[in-house]
Amino acid sequence: MARPDPTFLQKASLWLQNLVLQGLIRSLLLLPYAWRVPLCGWIFARVIAPLAGYQRRIRDNLALIFPEMPEAERRRLLRAVPDNVGRTVIELYSGAEFVARVAKAPIEGPGLAVLEEARASGRPVVLVTGHFGNYDASRAALIARGFPVGGLYRPMTNPWFNAHYVAAISRIGTPLFARGRQGMAEMIRFLRKGGMLGIVQDQHMKHAPVLEFFGKPAKTALSAAELALKYDALLVPTYATRRPDGLSFEILVDAPIPRGTAEEMTQALNDHLEAHVRQHVAQWFWIHKRWK
């Protein structure tokens, strides 16, 4: 069913939210890169997260998944998680500066050789990541090394914010495909030509089947696995882990997920992401409503 049109007050609220965020982003972009990234992290952790209710959601999610976590560690993550989110936001808006830094990031894992073989043979690839570290850093790093990586994105509910957000991630690399009939048609043509498609797949999807994530039921879209099966594409997990300096990354391109049913392959992706998050708990976006 189509969403009802927003009321005048809802539109005004969205417009005002965008005005504030756009003003913050433009102000931060005036600063040197090495200053703006940690400052945006600080603002998200100390100002935006408390006001937006992110801290409550982080605490609830952590209590669900890690009920035995010491309170001191939980309090640390209430700051560390939105700090990483804030850094990610301003990095995505930093265009060439962000790409130049990520282009120098080391890429590890058995999947890199697989991608090189796929590029040489023209075989399509579906690259799957999560809202972890900086979720667009893998795409930027691979594009910088000559891989034909496009991206599937979900348009923001705020149309004013969505317009400049899409412009920002386009500066990292194209093509980009919006979820929807037209975007899906363009994406399929891209895959059939041997393209590599990046998908972020770790959010709650209302009509998706229930799989497991951290041992809890979590509705998870099967789209990445279904695309891989339908178009004989490799399904490859990839993540960009933020280094202790807060500015640079290590890129992992892991081995392809073995072929099976769409449910089996998607559960393998969930398990892969879970294992990675357990190693770097602060770098996953615990602000999301992943479990409902």
Domains of the chain by residue range: 12-96, 101-283
Q: Give the Cβ contact number of residue 117 at 10 Å.
A: 11
pLDDT at 3: 56
Parallel, antiparallel, or unpaired: how do β-strands 234-242 and 149-153 relate? unpaired
Predicted local confidence at residue 1, as pLDDT: 47
Contact status, residue 198 vs residue 150, Cβ threshold 8 Å? yes
Q: Are 82 and 116 spatial neighbours (Cβ–Cβ below 8 Å)?
A: no
Q: In the 8-state DSSP scheme, what is residue 46?
A: I
DSSP 29: T
pLDDT digits (tens, 9 = 90+) for 180-219: 888 889 999 999 999 999 999 999 998 999 999 999 999 9
- Give residue 31's pLDDT: 98
- DSSP character at residue 283: G
The ranges of the chain with pLDDT < 70 are 1-4
Give Cα separations from 284 to 30, 84, 128, 236 (angstroms): 28, 8, 15, 19
Tens digit of each residue's pLDDT (9 = 90 or more) over 123-149: 999 999 999 999 999 999 999 999 999
Q: Would strands 249-253 and 234-242 be described as parallel, antiparallel, or unpaired?
A: antiparallel
DSSP annotation string for 81-139: HHHHHHHHHHHHTTHHHHHHHHTTS-EESTHHHHHHHHHHHT--EEEEE-SBS-TTHHH
Of 8, 13, 22, nearest to 163 by C-alpha is: 22
pTM equals 0.93
Are residues 248 and 105 in contact, defined by beta-carbon separation less than 8 angstroms? yes
